[in-house]
Amino acid sequence: MKNERGQLQKEKETLQKKLSELEQERNTSRYSFYYTSTEKKSWSESRQYCTERGADLVIINSREEQEFISTVFDSTDVWIGLTDTEKEGVWKWVDNSALTTQFWWKGEPNDYNRNEDCAVTAYRGAGSERVSTWADFPCDYPAVGICEKRF
Average pLDDT, the chain: 86
User: Is 121 in a helix, a strand, or coil?
Assistant: strand
User: Is 150 in a helix, a strand, or coil?
Assistant: strand
Provide the domain limits for residue 68.
31-150
Sign of CA dihedral 80, 85, 89, 93: negative
Q: Does one domain contain both 101 and 145?
A: yes
Q: Does one domain contain both 87 and 47?
A: yes
CATH number of the domain encompassing residue 108:
3.10.100.10
Cα–Cα distance, 140 to 151 (Å, whole number): 30
Q: Does one domain contain both 88 and 107?
A: yes
The tally of domains found in the chain comes to 2
The answer to which of 15-19, 29-33, 35-39, 82-86 has the lowest mean pLDDT is 15-19
Local confidence band at 42 (pLDDT 50, 70, 90 cut-offs): very high
